[in-house]
């Protein structure tokens, strides 16, 4: 336990030391910048120029903050003017204007001559500054248009995913054996509702007529036999009625078989192997919540 506490204390101390070193490292360039300004104020222009050029060196210079870099260039331009190096000063001020067009010098820290030279540099570079600003606006508009396009693309993709998640494709396969069943079964299976009801009702009526005819024929024949047994003279009439009923039943039965055959043939010729339907389904609500884990911080969804 003590060793763990010792390790934790050592790690904390190391972190504090690292933070202090980093803070001192950031403070050193600013301190050098202030020393260079002090040398400029004291008219020690050689020392001031050397310090400022070291700070602004693109390879070894430690001054990285844009505001501090602009300040250093302003001091360097003022030093060069004080040394009589007007051309070098003009180039320095132009570089300052190009890097930071909105820079405003502190009139209490540099000479009026240096401020005027900076104003002249802005005047010389007015057209170039306008072009730079226009280019910035163009890039900003392009980035905005790109971001809008990405958002629109993401919205379309989300809508497509929601549509796919909210639909279910159901495939129902048909059977040729079922298509052999009469009473419109094949038509209903093929999705032909009208024909299905037509064959179902027609064949049902024909089948019913056949059964009624057969039943009536059996009844009349029984009545004829009873009349013969009684010696009643109505036996011939009952036999005739039975014959008519039998013929009628046969006609209905024949019509039923023909209609059923036509229905089966039609169902086989129009056979549809499968039916694809799309059904809607509810998408469960998703709630997002921040999640902290070993991989970092993110958003997690719960259904």
132-146 pLDDT, tens per residue?
888 888 999 999 999
80 confidence band (pLDDT: 50, 70, 90):
very high
Q: Please report which confidence band the pLDDT of residue 109 belongs to, taking 50, 70 and 90 as the band edges.
A: very high
* Nearest-10 crossing angle of helices 86-99, 66-82: 160
How many percent of the chain have pLDDT more than 70? 84
pLDDT score of 15 more than 70: no
Q: Which residues contact 132 (CB under 8 A, 6 or more apart)?
A: 98, 101
The model's pTM is: 0.44
For residues 14 and 237, the model is more confident at: 237
137/131 Cα distance (integer angstroms): 10
Of 83-87, 149-153, 235-239, the one with minimum mean pLDDT is 235-239
């Amino acid at each position: 336990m003590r060793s763990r506490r010792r390790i934790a204390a050592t790690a904390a101390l190391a972190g504090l030391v690292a933070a202090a070193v980093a803070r001192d490292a950031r403070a050193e360039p600013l301190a050098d910048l202030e020393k260079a300004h002090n040398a400029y104020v004291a008219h020690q222009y050689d020392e001031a120029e050397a310090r400022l050029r070291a700070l602004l060196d693109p390879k070894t210079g430690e001054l990285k903050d844009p505001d501090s870099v602009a300040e250093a260039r302003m001091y360097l331009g003022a030093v060069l003017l004080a040394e009589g190096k007007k051309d070098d000063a003009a180039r320095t001020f132009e570089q300052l204007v190009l890097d930071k067009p909105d820079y405003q010098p502190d009139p209490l820290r540099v000479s009026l001559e240096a401020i005027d030279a900076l104003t002249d540099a802005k005047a010389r570079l007015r057209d170039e500054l306008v072009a730079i600003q226009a280019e910035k606006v163009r890039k900003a508009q392009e980035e905005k248009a790109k971001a809008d396009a990405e958002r629109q693309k993401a919205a379309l993709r989300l809508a497509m995913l929601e549509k796919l998640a909210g639909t279910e494709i159901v495939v129902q396969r048909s059977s040729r054996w079922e298509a052999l069943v009469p009473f419109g079964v094949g038509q209903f299976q093929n999705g032909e509702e009208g024909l299905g009801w037509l064959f179902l009702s027609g064949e049902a009526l024909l089948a019913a007529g056949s059964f009624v005819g057969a039943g009536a024929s059996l009844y009349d024949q029984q009545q004829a036999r009873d009349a013969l047994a009684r010696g009643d003279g109505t036996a011939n009439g009952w036999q005739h009625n039975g014959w008519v009923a039998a013929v009628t039943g046969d006609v209905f039965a024949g019509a039923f078989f023909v209609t059923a055959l036509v229905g089966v043939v039609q169902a086989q010729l129009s056979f549809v192997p499968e039916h694809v339907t799309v059904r809607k389904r509810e998408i469960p609500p998703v709630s997002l919540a921040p999640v902290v884990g070993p991989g970092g911080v993110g958003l997690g969804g719960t259904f």
